[in-house]
Chains A and B, each alone.
Chain A
């Protein structure tokens, strides 16, 4: 196999990795906020359920969760899902897992806000919803950005776990080529791709952090 063909195949895998990455962020960031509300809920039942959910998501391997989501419908419900189920299962497993981590990050940010901000907002006539979305949340975002960057970078590398469902993302393809060609080259190339992907992500996050540095 020529170098060019290998790069083309890896490139195709990279696009699929990026797809997993982008969709996971798209779903897990808002879902995580919702989960953090549940985690801080005054209702004990909701709080306990969410606590268990976060505990399981953080306490078991993501690879196992991927398998559980993918095979669960068949083994539990006898459902035979179509060809697109593989990708859907990956996105569900990743989103639900990352939402748990993001929820805890949101919670740390929300709970670090001084009560005076809520009190000032209340006295000035802001409703509860406006207080959160106009006053509290923008400040929370600034506070949690470094932790979010950490998770996002981890996600880039975690997309490779989709190989466990034999989904043709970059790592799966690198493994296939390496086995066929009995060469280590594909792994080195994949490593470089992951590194560059992450460098771009880190650069972007840094830019966002800088853009929020207009106040302290």
Chain B
């Protein structure tokens, strides 16, 4: 596509705004401005495209933009912070889907409206592109479609509409390989063999196959592995945009997509490291779920505490560390956690929060929830920075976390989670573990922390238990 010099420069400015924006997003103080800069870059890019592209069909365009803006704006304002993972997954999905549709739309226009274009590859040369261009059309549709359906499944799992457990279809690896091979075959046919109309139809088939593949890739992956999946799909949505950039020969899309692809990959890698598992291991799926071994629920020497007893312990605590997990999000307990933290501070205790990188369902999930309830971010500590302090801490309060505080990871080399970095809650003077029951966490294994001498199990709903404890504490 031909771009004028002015438009080219405007696109370059937009790219610079994206890069500056991302850079500013990496500091708490400047993050909001960074996001706004990126939004300005986007506005500039959109305005330039509208001025640059002639012959636009305005009615459809305006309706599409208004509709999309209304849906996006409404979703972004009404979402609860606990529902953020679903929403991010969904936005990833529609972004990938849009990239797929751009490639499809352009292909249909080029091949069906130019009469000289009759053979697939020959046609792409007639259009002045070439074989590599055909490959990018293929990749754009493939990755875009996988991102779309994969994200929708992830969204279903995150919101509980689809079971969060791994769903293992029989022969799923075989089916995946067959679908992958089918996608490549269809792509080759569209690129080399088929005539224009046929090729364009084959590409729709390709989108459908890739869509099935996306479902199949995400469905065997269990809930607690979702941080990896969401980050990876984030990366895919960027790569798909990049490929769409090749399709329409626009460097702005290529650059912006590549930036996002890279950032998604970094997060994916961080999440995998935090679980001591390889990406391949996560993607093969089936970890945890129904593989709970028989002795996972057998505990001796479990001591439990009532809210009154918990309050008594906290009354004299000089230092307290909260360890939030996905259970806190489920119980919507972040506000009462914060109130409790404030009450403890008022009583002179040193209060901090220890955040495991994969706590929750997406990277940084706990931080968003605690920010929502106004916990100062200076009190949030990452694993490496706080782990040595547990031994000097009076009380560790675990709210809805399990596997990330399981000492088996460091003490039992045979454990499935051996080597996974954990928060050393067990080293603190007293551990208050707020949990509904003794049931195992996502990994489906015993947690010896439950029966430690310094652990008190606080059975109940996280929010209700903390509320009662807080009431007791205020009276004390």
Q: Tell whether A and B belong to one assembly.
A: no
